[in-house]
Structure 1
Amino acid sequence: MEKLITWTKGVFDSSYQIFCNGQICGNLIFETWNNHAFGIMSQKNYHFRTKGFSDITTTIYGDNNEELGIITFHMWQFRAIISLKDQTPFTWNYSNSWLSSWNLSDHQHTHMHFRASSGSGTIMGKNLDNELALIAGLYIKEFFSRILVTFIVFVAIMVALRGV
């Protein structure tokens, strides 16, 4: 049976609130000037720390600084691979050209479909019990959104400077 989880975030804010059965069940909060984030799901804490420029990876840490997994980004393909400790790797990729829908799957037991509109969205799937994969799916979406906004601002500045 498919389950449904919803989430909200401010338009210019990088803080997500995750709702299960109408009750808040998690948060994902990004730092302002970098791609580090802090997540909470079911009283468990997750820290996302990004490093690299051409080969960008994010390491996911739990409490006591225990490494739980790594996210490897494939920038030009707008996709990512989530490798969690002792689990089959997950593939994350957009499923439409407007970048408002994406999938997360381990190609075996877990398949999550995310949809976003301005400031809110849904997560549907038959197995949404893997909270770390779920919150990592939102993390990757925000990561790519930030890259896209940075690129648009860069192009706008270049166009403005060319006109001077």
Structure 2
Amino acid sequence: MEKVVTWTKGVFDSSYMIFCNGQVCGNLIFDTWNNHAFGIMSQKNYHFRCKGFSDITTTIYGDNNVELGVITFHLWQFRAIIALKDQIPFTWNYSNSWLSSWNLSNHKDTQMHFRASSGSGTISGENLENELALIAGLYIKEFFSRILVAFIAFVAIMVAVRGI
């Protein structure tokens, strides 16, 4: 049976509030100057720690620094692979050219479809109970959004410098 989860986010904010059945059931909060994030779902804590620009992977930790999985980004393809402990790997990719819709799937029993508009969105699909996969899907979206904003800012600066 397909379920729906909603989320909200400020336009210039990197903090997500996740709602299940109209009640807050989770948060995802990013650090301002890096891609580290802290997530909470159903009283469980998740820490996303990005290694950097040369090794574009993020390690997911639970409480007591227990490693739960790794996200590997493929920047040029705008996709990612989520490898969680003792689970089939998940594939994350955009499903439209406006970058407002994306999918997360393990190609077996979990299919999540994310849709975003300005500052909010929905997550629908099968097996939304996999909270870590769900929150990782939002993490990846924000990661790619930040890369895109940095690229646009770089191009704008280069154009401005060249025009001087």
- Relative to the length of structure 1, the TM-score reads 0.99
Letter of the aligned partner of 1:8 in structure 2? T
Inter-partner Cα distance in structure 1 for 2:53 and 2:7: 29
> Structure 1 CA distance, aligned partners of 2:52 and 2:123?
29
The one-letter code sitting in structure 2 at the alignment partner of 1:163 is G
The share of aligned pairs that are identical, in percent, is: 87
Tell me which residue corresponds to 2:121.
121
Aligned partner of 2:138 in structure 1 is 138
Contact 1:101 1:114 in 2 (8 A): yes
- Identify unmatched segments of 5+ residues in structure 2: none
User: 1:79 and 1:52 mapped to 2: Cα distance?
Assistant: 17
Contact 1:55 1:73 in 2 (8 A): no
> In the TM superposition, what whole-angstrom CA distance separates every residue of 1:27-47 from its partner, at most 9, and x where no partner exists?
000000000000000000000
Supply the distance in 1 between the matched residues of 2:55 and 2:49 (Cα, whole angstroms): 14
The corresponding residue for 1:148 is 148
**1:35 aligns to 2:57 (yes or no):** no
Q: Which residue of 2 aligns with 1:46?
A: 46
Letter in 2 for 1:109: D
For structure 1, the 5+ residue unaligned runs are none
Aligned partners of 1:35, 1:55: CA distance in 2, in Å?
13
CA–CA separation in structure 2 for the residues paired with 1:64 and 1:50? 18
- Paired with 2:29 and 2:46, the residues of 1 have a C-alpha distance of 10
**Alignment TM-score, normalising by the size of structure 2:** 0.99
CA–CA distance in structure 1, aligned partners of residues 109 and 84 of structure 2: 14
CA deviations on 1:33-83 (whole Å, 9 max, x unpaired) are: 000000000000000000132330000000000000000000000000000
Could you list the structure 1 runs, at least 4 aligned residues long, displaced by more than 4 angstroms after superposition. none
1:61 aligned residue: 61
Question: What displacement does 1:92 show?
Answer: 0.1
The residue number in structure 2 matching 1:23 is 23
* Shift in Å, 1:146: 0.2
